[in-house]
Each structure stands twice: as structure tokens, then as C-alpha cells.
Chains A and B, each alone.
Chain A
Amino acid sequence: DAKTTQPPSMDCAEGRAANLPCNHSTISGNEYVYWYRQIHSQGPQYIIHGLKNNETNEMASLIITEDRKSSTLILPHATLRDTAVYYCIVRVDTGANSKLTFGKGITLSVRP
């Protein structure tokens, strides 16, 4: 699976949009971009994923560049409860290679 690069940390003000970047310059054409987060020591929580097109759900938006070498996760109105470690993962969706490879992620701190 391709490797991802994320800044170690960032912060944003409550109520503002949080834009979390991720570089995946070696991504292959059949690899998906997944985002998970882990709040304190809870189980990782799925946020969103995409292949080529931008995606939006009730939690966030995922913007993937046209060359697919980077993406941005957008939390439109960050709250204190969004403080967590966010993981960007790229993965081929084939049966034997279904494991998720977690990096260090980016620690998002939402300040009041």
C-alpha cells in the first residue's frame, strides 16, 4: 500500500472549519483514500473514503486532487469533541490485502 504523509499536529478554533491535509504521492490507480479518527483511546472511527471524486457525508468532506497525490479532510464546523488523532490511509481494495496500515496520523486540537 502507498505511504501517506501528514503533519504531526494542528489546531483550530471551535466553530471554524478544520482542513487536514494528506500527501500520498505514490498512490496507485486502484487505491482508495480512507480517513479514520481515534478519540483518546477509543476504537478508530471511520469518517469517509474516496477513490477519485470528492465525497461528502454527515461528518466531513473529502477533497482529492485531480492527480490523486494529495487530499484534504474538511470538518466544516469543528467542535471540542472533534479533538482526536486523524489517520489518512490509502489501500487497495482486494481481499488478501484488506489490512489498514496506520501511520502516526495528525493530532487535531480544537480550542474553545
Chain B
Amino acid sequence: NAGVMQNPRHLVRRRGQEARLRCSPMKGHSHVYWYRQLPEEGLKFMVYLQKENIIDESGMPKERFSAEFPKEGPSILRIQQVVRGDSAAYFCASSLHLQGAGETQYFGPGTRLLVL
């Protein structure tokens, strides 16, 4: 059973460009979470999505960041007009969401974004 897949694993962008990060959840999982880890810092929650719905975006920066999880295809985290401060590791996690049974999130290997 393949785990959570993320691509690209490494992404280099110049300031002002757009970054698109993709996440394919584990087979059968319909819930996706995005986390960001800035250099030398801990992981911070960004957004929680179900298919075609954003459930919790309390950790998303108000501007330039957006996320989607369409009915078909991977979840996409999109960063417009990137700045150097966006350089970080972005991790995606997925879960099966058996409510009341302890919902375990499984993480992907991450995408390392470097903004020049």
C-alpha cells in the first residue's frame, strides 16, 4: 500500500513566481492536511481539506496561499508571488477519518521549497 506521495520533492523558485505543491493521499483516504516547517522551527498546521471542501484553514496565511482537493486528482497547495520567507518544508498528511476511533494522520516525505 503506497504511502502519501508528494511532488516535487524539491522546488526552486525566484521571488515573484508561483509554487505548486502536490499531494496524493494514501489509497482510500479522503482527508488531507498541509503543514509547514520553517528552518529550525517546528511543524505548523496550515489547512485541512476533504474532497472538494476546505474544513479548517486557520493556519493559512491570509494572502498568496491557497489549497484545494478536487474530486479527482491530488491536493494542491499553491503559493503565489513567492517571497524568501516562504522557503520551508511543506508536509502533507492524509487520514481515513473513522470518527470516534482515533484518527491517525500519515505524512508524506515533504516538498522543500527554496525561494531565491
Contact of A46 among B35, B56, B97, B104 (CB under 8 A): B104
Q: Is A111 an interface residue (CB 8 A)?
A: no
Chain A-chain B contacts (Cβ-Cβ < 8 Å), number: 69
B105 cross-chain contacts in A, Cβ below 8 A: 46, 98, 100
- Distance in angstroms from A87 CB to nearest chain B CB is 8
Contact A32/B102 with A44-B91, A44-B107, A99-B45 known, Cβ cut-off 8 Å: yes
The size of the chain B interface, using a CB distance under 8 A, is 32
Q: Is B85 an interface residue (CB 8 A)?
A: no
- Distance in angstroms from A22 CB to nearest chain B CB is 15
CA distance A51 to B56 in the complex (A): 24
The size of the chain A interface, using a CB distance under 8 A, is 25
CA distance A104 to B55 in the complex (A): 26
B108 cross-chain contacts in A, Cβ below 8 A: 43
A76 cross-chain contacts in B, Cβ below 8 A: none
Contact A96/B56 with A43-B107, A43-B108, A46-B104 known, Cβ cut-off 8 Å: yes
Cβ A99 vs Cβ B59 within 8 A: yes
Cβ A96 vs Cβ B44 within 8 A: no
12 residue pairs of the A-B complex, CB under 8 angstroms, read A41-B37, A42-B110, A44-B43, A45-B107, A46-B104, A46-B105, A51-B102, A94-B99, A97-B56, A100-B45, A100-B93, A102-B42
Chain A interface (Cβ < 8 Å from any Cβ of B): 32, 34, 36, 38, 41-46, 49, 51, 93-105
